[in-house]
Amino acid sequence: MDNKIKIGICGYGNLGRGVESEIAKNPDMELVAIFSRRGGNLPSGAGGNPPMVHIASAPEWQGKMDVMILCGGSKSDLPSQGPEFARLFNTVDSYDTHAKIPGYFEAVDSAAKAGDHLSIISIGWDPGLFSILRLYAGSIIPDGKTYTFWGKGVSQGHSEAVRGIDGVEGAIQYTIPVDAAMERVRSGEAPELTTREKHTRVCYVAAAAGADTKRIENEIKTMPDYFADYDTTVHFISLDELKKDHAKIMHGGNVLHTGETGVGNTQGIEFSLKLDSNSEFTASVLLAYARAAYRLSAKGERGARTIFDIPPIMLSPQEPDELVKELL
């Protein structure tokens, strides 16, 4: 392919590395450069090719790439980087601070329009694929109710909260959906479910030698916002076991929508993900939407978009007539 879509990566944590690894699965794309605050001091996947560039030099790369994939965090990176980079490049990001999305959308929209670019925000699986499934399901069966369950999977925020407790040397937290609650939803019962009824939390904790495990367990289980509203189980294991048995950042979940048509006909829609690597999957979604950003921009569209705005056909590298033949 002569005219590959030129991709830049901004931010070289788990997500940026995921985009770097998955770009090879997309023969219509090529990685042009990786931008990071740590600049040229990092080894890149292929020994300096693509180049690792300090993020401050990004403006010099205008016109040299089609889409910049922003892989920074929603808390401290994207609120400023999202609008800044939308002025310079077409962008795709995974901004996921839900309550602040409307304001973030406005900021990116203005910047992208000012810079004559197209930006797709809040891409991934939730927000992301789960969001469009909620939209499809609710639009098709309006007389129904949508439920989202997460897990089994690792919650990074909850794992970090446990690691912050005095006497904890290492920890991981799994969010686990309650099967019985999902079965009630699938049955068409349309239950009202409390936080506690939907998910349980399980922590594996490596405590420091001599630490008071009773106290640690109690601090976890009573931690407000993170654990107090859930049934939480705490297992103490060695640091070696933690590293050996809990290395995968797996995740997933289910969107369930059950409703009624006609006279008492139950109609059930379900979408589920079971992911060995959360960051590599999110990276894969970002790459498919980078293709869409490139195409929409080439059609002359400008400003910010969400996943709701993107026609499915924009995600595929295949020709429309092939898609109709093979997938419709």
Give min distance, CB of 248 to its own copies, in A.
8
Query: CB-wise, 88 or 283, nearer to its own copies?
Result: 283
Near its own copies by CB under 8 A, which window of 86-94, 192-200, 209-217, 300-308?
300-308
Per-residue string for binding with its own copies, 185-224, x by CB under 8 A?
Answer: -x--------------------------------------
Q: Can you point out the beta strands (E) in the chain?
A: 5-10, 29-36, 52-54, 67-70, 90-93, 118-120, 144-150, 153-154, 168-177, 199-207, 231-236, 251-261, 265-275, 303-305
Contact between 21 and 283 (Cβ < 8 Å): yes
Q: Judged by CB, which is closer to its own copies: 203, or 286?
A: 286
Least Å distance between CB 119 and its own copies? 14
| 97 lines the binding site for its own copies (CB under 8 A) | no
Q: Which is nearer to its own copies, 112 or 129 (CB)?
A: 129
Q: In this structure, how many other beta carbons lie within 10 angstroms of the beta carbon of residue 29?
A: 22
First to last CA, the chain: 25
Longest Cα–Cα distance of the chain, Å, equals 67
Determine the Cα–Cα distance for residues 117 and 66; give it in Å rounded to an integer.
10
Contacts made by residues 103-108, CB under 8 angstroms, sequence distance 24+? 104/78, 104/79, 105/304, 105/306, 106/304, 107/79, 107/82, 107/83, 108/82, 108/83, 108/304
Kindly tell me which residue out of 2, 143, 192, 319 binds its own copies, with binding defined by CB under 8 A. Answer: 143
Segment 157 to 186, residues that bind its own copies, using CB under 8 A: 186
Q: Read off φ and ψ for residue 92, nearest 5 degrees.
A: -135, 140
Q: Is 7 in the site for its own copies (CB under 8 A)?
A: no
127 binds its own copies (CB under 8 A): yes
Cβ 91 to its own copies, closest distance in Å?
17
Which C-beta is closer to its own copies: that of 41 or that of 308?
Answer: 308
Q: Does 98 bind its own copies (CB under 8 A)?
A: yes
Q: Does 110 bind its own copies (CB under 8 A)?
A: no
CA distance 36 to 10: 6
> Distance of CA 235 to CAs 96, 157, 162, 302, Å?
30, 18, 12, 51
Binding mask 257-296 for its own copies (x = CB under 8 A): ----xx-xxxxxxxxxxxxxx--xx-xxx--x--x-----
The stretch near its own copies (CB under 8 A) out of 83-91, 129-137, 202-210, 232-240 is: 129-137
When binding is defined by CB under 8 A, the residue of 1, 224, 311, 319 that contacts its own copies is 311
Per rule CB under 8 A, count of chain residues that contact its own copies: 68
Q: Between residues 45 and 73, which has the closer beta carbon with respect to its own copies?
A: 45
Give CA angle at 307 (301, 313), nearest 5°. Answer: 70
CA distance 216 to 167: 7
- Contact of 119 with 307, CB cutoff 8 Å: no
- Distance, in Å, from the CA atom of 154 to the CA atom of 269, rounded to the nearest integer, reads 25
Q: Per CB under 8 A, which of residues 11..70 are in contact with its own copies? A: 18, 21-22, 25-26
**Residues of the shown chain interacting with its own copies in the complex, contacts defined by CB under 8 A:** 18, 21-22, 25-26, 98, 101-102, 105, 122, 127, 129, 131-136, 138-143, 186, 248, 252, 261-262, 264-277, 280-281, 283-285, 288, 291, 306-313, 315-317, 320-321, 323-325, 327-328
